[in-house]
Amino acid sequence: MPANILLVEDEPAIQELIAFNLSQAGHHVMRADSAESAQNIVRNALPDLILLDWMLPGMTGIDFAKKLRAEERTRQIPLIMLTARSDEQDKVIGLETGADDYITKPFSPRELQARIKAVLRRRAPQITDDTVEVQGLRLDPATHRVTGNGDTIDLGPTEFRLLHFFMTHPERVHSRAQLLDHVWGDHVFVEERTVDVHIRRLRSALESTSFDRLIQTVRGTGYRLSAHNN
Ligand code: CA
């Protein structure tokens, strides 16, 4: 499951090593050597996960984590803190800021991979390769196949990602801005109307299997996937 990972680490050698390992594992890595430059990256596009060093020049990792958690737009970004401290008390502080996990340096690439995978599976199931199914509508991210009661459904890449996001977050209402952030990865440069266009395409692709009924408009709020009527 390749993810867009933002790595915030000020020590060049460690940054290089982690970035190398993550790219080897198929992830796309964006790098920042301070919380301030990480902030600029996040402002443009939301990463799938942030690896955040605790000790940074300028704003600390802890303060940056608090900032991310305080803002509506960035609150949900999966976050793993990297630190040289192994103190229990520090671990508690790290998790209290809203970090999903915590890794103490030095760590093996394998451990990092495992932690990333676990956090993504829990917090961002739409980017994992697990097959999802809702009432006979089945989506397999590994083979990029969608079937409705066994019949193949052809979807464009955006509709596929949109459906994957809906299926991994069922019954919840998502605003257009939230869908842009999670499916397009960016809410700044894409118009909200774009969402409506792709919802329309998704529904029409699902129509032949009548699963279009799952994609519901919630007036004034956004869209949701629901197995229930209303
Ligand atoms: Ca550091």
DSSP assignment of 14-38: HHHHHHHHHHHTT-EEEEESSHHHH
Domain boundary at 127, 152, 175, which?
A: 127
Which residue has tokens 């919630």? 218
CATH number for the domain harbouring residue 160 = 1.10.10.10
Number of domains, the chain: 2
How close are the terminal C-alpha atoms of the chain, in Å? 33
pLDDT in tens, 57-106: 999 999 999 999 999 889 889 999 998 866 667 777 777 788 899 898 88
**Ligand 1: centre distance to CA 109 (Å):** 18
Q: How far does the centroid of ligand 1 lie from the alpha carbon of residue 229, in Å?
A: 51
Torsion of CA 115, 14, 32, 88, to 10 degrees: 50
- Whether 34 maps to a domain, the answer reads yes
For 45, the token pair is 């596009």
43 and 78 co-located in one domain: yes
- Pair (9, 79) in one structural domain: yes
Residue 173: give the domain boundaries: 132-225
β-bridge mates for residue 147, sequence order: 138, 152
Q: What is the pTM (predicted TM-score) of this model?
A: 0.76
Ligand 1 centre distance from Cα of residue 59 (Å): 11
In the reported structure, the alpha carbon of residue 61 is separated from the centroid of ligand 1 by a whole-number distance in angstroms of: 9
Same domain for 176 and 220, yes or no, is yes
CA–centroid distance, 75 to ligand 1, in Å, is 23
Q: How far is the CA of 127 from the centre of ligand 1 (A)?
A: 28
* Each residue's pLDDT tens digit, 137-188: 999 998 999 999 999 999 999 999 999 999 999 999 999 988 988 888 766 6
Q: What is the structure's pLDDT at 188?
A: 61
